[in-house]
Copies of this chain bind each other. A is one copy, B any other.
Amino acid sequence: MGITRKQEIIQIASRLFKERGYSAVSMRDIAQALDIKAASLYNHISGKQEILATLIIEVGEEFTSQMSQVMTASLNPIEKIEKVIEMHIDVTVNFPDNIATLNNDWMHLEGIALNRVVKMREDYEENFRKIIKLGISEGNIKSQHPEVILFSILSTLRTLYLWNEKRGKMDVNVLKKDMVSVLINGII
Measured CB to CB, the residues of A under 8 A from B are: 19-24, 78, 81, 104-105, 107-108, 140-142, 144-145, 147-149, 151-153, 155-156, 158-160, 162-163, 166, 170, 174-175, 178-179, 181-188
Contacts and interface: CB of A to CB of B under 8 A. Distances in A.
A167 B160 CA distance: 23
B155 A151 contact: no
A83 B78 CA distance: 29
A124 to B, nearest CB: 15
Given A104-B104, A140-B188, 8 more contacts: A21-B21, A23-B23, A23-B24, A141-B188, A144-B187, A152-B183, A155-B163, A184-B187
B144 A181 contact: yes
Contacts of A166: 147, 151
